[in-house]
Structures are given as C-alpha cells and as structure tokens.
Structure 1
Amino acid sequence: MTGTAIPTATYLCPQDGTRADVAAAHWCCPVCAGPWDLDIGARPPVRLDALNGRANSLWRYEEALPLAGPAVSLGEGRTPLVPLTGHVSAKLDFLMPTLSFKDRGAVMLAELARRLSPERVVADSSGNAGTAVAAYCARAGLPCTVYVPEGTSPEKTEQITAHGARLEVVPGDREATALAARAAAGAPGTFYASHVFNPFFLHGTKTYVYELWEDLGGTLPDAIAVPVGNGTLLLGAALATAELLAHGLIARRPALIAVQAEAVSPLAAAFRAGQDGLPPGRATATAATLAEGIAIPRPPRARQILAAVRESGGTFLTVTENQIRAAQRDLAARGLYVETTGVACWAAVGDVTDRSVVVPLCGAGLKTGTAP
C-alpha cells in the first residue's frame, strides 16, 4: 500500500454484521448506530527477527497495521518499559509527542483522514484524545474542531488550541460532549475522528502490546492492567493478543485487568453482576473523579469491553479517590509525574506479588496541573 492509498480494509458492525467501505461509510453503523470494527483481512505475522532496522516508532509493526507509509507520523510509540517492583513494570506512554498514549490511535485517524481529504475533522474528548487529534491534524494540514466538556483542565485546552484546532466547550459532562460532536459529524464533508467509534484508533492502540512483546523478547506478562473508560487501550490490547496468539507468536493470552474509578464504574458493576452489557437508557449524571479520562458513564463499546476481559480470564478493579491521590504521590516519589487518570492502574495493582503485570502510565502530570 502506498502512503496515499485508501485502505482496502472494510468496516464491520460487531452487532449486526453490516459491512461498509472505509472511503464512503458514515461514522457509525447505519443499522444499529453502533461503533464499527475493522476487517483488515489475512495478514502475515510480525516477526521479531524482521524488526531490526525498521522505523523506531509504532509503524515498525507494519504487517499488523491497516495503513502503511504514513505522512503524519511524529515518531510516536516505542516508549520505555521500566520496573516499579519485582512484579510490576510500567510502560511510559506519557512520553509520547503529545504526552499521552492517545497518540497511538490519533495518528491512525489523522492518516486516514488525510487520505480521504475531508473538508473538516471533528473530535470529542475529555482532553487527551482531542489534543492528540489536534496535533496530528496539524501535521496533516487538516482543519480540526475539538469538543470538550466544561471543566476540562486548562492545560489540555491550551494544548489543543496551540495546535491550531478550534475548541468547542460543551456545557455538561462527557456524554453531552460526545452528542454535540456526533451532531456536527453529520455535516457533509466532515470526518469524525472518534477514538471510540472509529476502529482505526484501536489498531493504533494495539501497538502498545506489540511493543511489550518485542521488549520482552517475544513474550508477554501474566497480566496487562489498563484504565478503562471508553476502553480504547483495552480493546487494542485484546486485538494484539488475539493476533499474536493466532500467529503462534505467544503461547497464551495474558489476563486483561480493567481499572475504573470507583466514582464512575459502570463496567465494573456490570462485570460483577454477570451482565453482558449495560442496562438500556441514557446515562445519568455521575460523581466527580480525579480520573477524568475514564469518567465515562455509558461507553458505546461496553459489550466488547466486558467480553474481552472475560475471554482473557481477567477482571475489573476499582480505585477510590484517596487511592488515586496516594498512587500519584507514590509515582512522583519514584521520579514519575503522571496525571491522575494515568495512575489508576498503579493504585489498583501496585502491591501484586503473585504474577507479572504491566501498567501504562498514560498521560503526563503536566496535563492536569493537579500536583500530588
């Protein structure tokens, strides 16, 4: 595939099987209005012995990616893996170009948008995804509008506008923000760079696990813990582990440990109740939490998230606000200043001693201005 080619992959609705061409499709399934998955067809495996000399970015795993030959890369990916205890290691994804793991998926969305040549790009976010989309759209030369909820940290909104994006502050919570962006996404000539509905984002976040696999010499830890709001990192991890297993590159899939703030934990409650999804109806107002990046009352991919955790043999854990504060202080004392959402997994699994676990430090502490 050339750097300007439209991808040959197709959108696939996981609920009703509807298929659509990537170049022509609406941002959601026209039948059920749910998010798309992506059928990228049969791909050759990524081989460890083939990686030497490749780009030192997530694009080195080209066999597994739906796009190749990117024009918008900022060198994202290949973040360090460092031990925190004898059993828990951290992947420092806050060292990405825009200081969060969202760059992994945003670069895919911006590269796709560049090839589709829309008149405008819109995105919605609690901050980090919007920042990443704004940066990569700037790199691609695409006009971009980012919708954020009121109360988003000034550090994040300043970063969004610094990249030249138009900022729309929406009264209300994250759910209201998503609805406003989706309304704008219906205008002709608009590309909705949704990190939730567009599966190209998930195929970017899956590189997190490919990097773990490479850095650990072709193995993975016993468990991978991820903070879960809309579940983009968890679902990307599920994609990668399934691909590696299917190609015989790992012997077993690690357990996926999904971490939510106790104040906003709809998925954890559904998991404990044995439910396959969330109850029908609109989300109600939620309690405030320091972990704003995962304060999602009704994630559109709830069923997929719950299924992925169960299939991996994993579980859901929740953390209190006091645990989040303590974990942020603890990491800062270890030399790692991480934003409050990014410390949730360390708060949940930092004392594990019976298996190997990797946690992502997803965003830099400078993004929130909340000192530990």
Structure 2
Amino acid sequence: MSPLPDRYCPTDGVRVPSDSLAWCCPSCHGPLDLDFAPTPAPLKSLSGRVNSLWRYAETLPLAQPTVSLGEGRTPLVTLTDEVSAKLDYLMPTLSFKDRGAVLLAQLAQRVGPTRVVADSSGNAGTSVAAYCARARLPCTVYVPLGTSAKKLEQIEAHGARPEVVDGDREAAGAAARRAADEPGTFYASHVHNPYFLHGTKTYVHELWEDLGGRLPDVLVLPVGNGTLLLGAALAIAELHGAGLLDRRPALWAVQAAAVAPLAHAWQEGADGLVGDTTLSPTYAEGIAIPRPPRARQILRAVRGSGGTFLTVSEDRIRHAQLDLASQGLYVESTSAVCWAAVREGALGGRSAVVPLCGAGLKSGLARA
C-alpha cells in the first residue's frame, strides 16, 4: 500500500501522523488539512477509465478502493441558456456526501479503529453509514432532534446506530466529538477530516472533463460547513496548477437568509465570523450551520476566486424547489438554494453550474 500523507493544522502548522486517530489539531482543536499536492491527469488520458470518481486516481490521497459503490460521474443537464445542473443526488445514498464518505470509510478501514462515529443533519450520516456497512465497520451517527425520519430510517437500514441528540446540529456535533475522544474511535467528520474535501473535489474534476477541459464562468455552491466549496477550490487549484485550466471560475456561495453567518461576515469585510449567530428555522436544514469550523478558509476561497456570497429567503427556496420538480428534478429543499439564487437573472449572461445535492425523497417538499 502507498503511504498516506500527513495531516496538518492550517492555523498553527502542527502536524498529525497519517495513521493517528486524532481528529483535530492537538493545539488549537481546529480542523486539519492534508499535506498532499497531486497533479491531475490530462483530459485525453481519462478515456476508458472506471466510470466513478476513482477515475481521477492521481488526485486522490487513497488508492485501490475496496469500499466503492460506484459513486460519482453524475449527469449534467441544462436548465437555461446560462445555467446547467449537476445531478449529484443520483448517488448510491442519494446525496453528494458519498464523494467524501467513501474516502473516510476507505481511510477508516485502513487504520483499523474499533468503531466509527459521525455527526450529521442527515445526509452525511446516511452516507457514512452506507460506506461503513460496505467496509464492515461498526458505526454510530449522532443527529439532532427533528432529523428527517426518512434519513434516520436509511441510517438504521445500513446497520448503523442513530443517536438522536436533544438539541440542534451543533449539539449533535458536540456529542460526536466527545465520543470521538474515546480510545479506538475513528471520527468520520465531514468537516474536520480533510479526506472528505479531497472526495468532494471530484465534483469539479467531473465538470472539467464533461465540459471538455474547461469550467463555467461561475460555480454556484451551497454553503453550511462549506465542504463542497472547499473541495471545488482544491480541484480548481490542482487543474490550474497543472496547466489544465486557463481560467479559474468565480465561486458564488449561497446561504439561507435565516442562517447566514458567512454571508454576514462577507458583508462586514471580515476574515472570520463576526458577532453571535441566531439559528432561525429554515427549509435548508442541511446548511443551517451557525459557526462553521472552516469559516476562514471558506471566506478566503471565495475572496480569492473573485466570487461573492448570496442569501435566499424561505419563500425563494420553496419556489425554487417546486420549479425544479416541475422540470423533473425532485430534490430536497437544501438542494434548491443555488437555483433559488440564480434563477431570476443574477448571472448577467455568465455561464454557471449549480449542484443538486440531495434527493427530495429524503425529506419531502418545503411547505408554506
């Protein structure tokens, strides 16, 4: 087996050995990054490779997948002359989280923990549960009170144990982190573990391939913890650094107006979160994150791309979900936020792609 790259703290530079079960920086307790700078393969060399995200093997920190369910290579369909949608809800567990979860499960299988724990508002938990089932690893998923019954059913069906926490998304995360500190536990955190980001970056590698070696003017991305946006930034840097991309797209980050700590920080011109964030009810439960641990990285990535932050109201989210359904695309309400942000002409003639990240069957329609 090839050696695993070490992790490190982007804040203070502390390094964590590749085989360690430590899930955060031992000094500042922040999320970790990966000491890994791959060179992607040129477009012409991709022909005939496996039809999953593992076709981009040169860019992945793990090789020889044993827990793959064929994730990745999702369709790209046209919505308007300007906007296309990538159907990432057409994944084994019906959400884009499979891109990162497969790498977490592959890593966990390699380091050999006693058990795996995760926390989630639903989609990441169902994905980790499925890939842990594939890897034959016992798994517990901490979820907040009010998590969709369909998502809880899916977690249990995969053989994982859902642990419902009497509180919000942050309370579920705190419970998982306490469990993660127990000996022999692998914390499959889609926020703190950088392997997840190196899985989500394949979203952009696929777009680049499907568009013939280019990317649209704008990538519109939903942001709660920012894992898809940060993965996109990684892929763009890899492709551009290898001379495979002439022009970098702008990253437009979308939040629900009801829970928009990053958009507020952006408006203030801040490098990190500012003030207290109230957690108001929102249809976009999957991105209702009041204090994202990678906030500074997200803001820096958007700023460096020449992008921006947008917010959408609950009414716009609901109508965007219904509009997508009327076009044959039934997605959960969180997945509608990007379409809500650009469907009424915000792009000004620029080309864009929006991700449809989770299937509507997981939580149903937003109701007025």
Length-normalised TM-score, structure 2: 0.97
Name the CA shift for 1:251/1:261 in 2 (closer, same or farther; >3 Å): same
Q: Does 1:279 align with 2:274?
A: yes
Tell me by how many angstroms 1:279 deviates. 3.3
How many residues align? The count is 365
Provide structure 2 residue ranges, at least 5 long, that are not aligned to the other structure: none
Residue 315 in structure 1 maps to residue 308 in structure 2? yes
| 1:348 counterpart residue number | 341
SS at match of 1:258: strand
Partner of 2:188: 193
Residues 1:339 and 2:335 are matched in the alignment: no
Q: 2:318 aligns with which of 297, 315, 325?
A: 325
Match of 2:49, SS state, is coil
CA distance in 2, matches of 1:22, 1:327: 43
Looking at structure 2, the residues matched to 192 and 26 of structure 1 have their Cα atoms a distance apart, in angstroms, of 8
RMSD of aligned Cα (Å): 1.1
Between the aligned partners of 1:151 and 1:126, the Cα distance in structure 2 is 9
* Equivalence for 1:20: 16
- Measure, in 2, the Cα distance between the counterparts of 1:45 and 1:27: 27
Letter in 2 for 1:345: C
8 A contact 1:8–1:40 mirrored in 2: no
Residue of structure 2 in register with 1:300 after alignment: 293
Displacement, 1:8?
2.5
CA positional deviation for 1:100: 0.3
| Aligned-residue offset at 1:369 | 2.3
- Equivalent residue number for residue 207 of structure 1: 202
Match status 1:257 vs 2:252:
yes
> Is residue 87 from structure 1 mapped to residue 79 from structure 2 by the alignment?
no
d(CA) in 1 for partners of 2:363 and 2:225? Answer: 19
Is 1:32 the counterpart of 2:43? The answer is no
Instruction: Give 3-state SS (helix, strand or coil) of 1:147's partner.
Output: strand
Local SS of the residue matching 1:256: strand
The Cα of 1:253 is off from its aligned counterpart by 1.1
Displacement of 1:25: 4.7
2:94 touches 2:358 (CA, 8 Å); kept in 1?
yes
The range that moved more, 19-28 or 171-180, is 19-28
Alpha carbons 1:134, 1:164 under 8 Å: kept? yes
* SS of structure 1 residue aligned to 2:89: helix
Cα distance in 2, alignment partners of residues 25 and 177 from structure 1: 20
Alignment of 1:101-180 (within 5 A): 101-180=96-175
Greater mean deviation of Cα atoms: 350-359 or 150-159:
350-359
Are the aligned partners of 1:155 and 1:369 in contact in 2 as well (CA < 8 Å)?
no
Contact 1:134/1:165 (8 A) holds in 2: yes
Structure 2 residue matching 1:226: 3-state secondary structure:
strand
Deviation at 1:371, TM superposition (A): 5.9
Q: Deviation at 1:12?
A: 1.3
Q: What residue number does 1:71 align with?
A: 66
Q: Aligned AA for 2:174?
A: L
Tell me which residue corresponds to 2:6: 10
Are 2:39 and 2:238, in contact at CA under 8 Å, matched by a contact in 1? no
Q: Which runs of 4+ in 1 moved over 6 A?
A: none
Percentage of identical aligned residues: 70
Query: Partner of 2:57 in structure 1?
Result: 62
Gaps of 5+ in 1: none
